[in-house]
Amino acid sequence: MKIKEGYILKDVAGAKIVIATGAQKMNFNGVMTFTSVGADVFNMLDGTNSVDDIAKKIAEDYNVPFERVKTDVENLINKMREHNLIEE
């Protein structure tokens, strides 16, 4: 699973915001902002990492229990799916 082509994460005045580019501008009619952890998840959704891979990395980086992180990562990915940002 990965972020669809045409969506990028930008730092705008200290906020991490998803921006649609190219043809995706027509499909994305909202704003999605991320915390720094959310931005890490977004950046790891490159087609090479599983949910477990992402959760493990976040858990290690932020010293948080894996199971809690995994649930949070799954919830965030589901929100991204709702906004049609994910390519399976």
What span, in angstroms and rounded, lies between the C-alpha atoms of 84 and 27?
8
pTM to 2 decimal places: 0.90
The string of pLDDT tens digits covering residues 32-66 is 899 999 999 999 999 999 999 999 999 999 999 99
Token pair in block for residue 22: 């190219």
Residue position matching structure tokens 């477990």? 52
What span, in angstroms and rounded, lies between the C-alpha atoms of 78 and 88?
12
Token pair in block for residue 33: 């902002």
Q: What pLDDT band is residue 71 in, cutting at 50, 70 and 90?
A: very high
The fold of the 2-87 domain, in CATH, is Arc Repressor Mutant, subunit A (1.10.10)
Extents of the domains making up the chain: 2-87
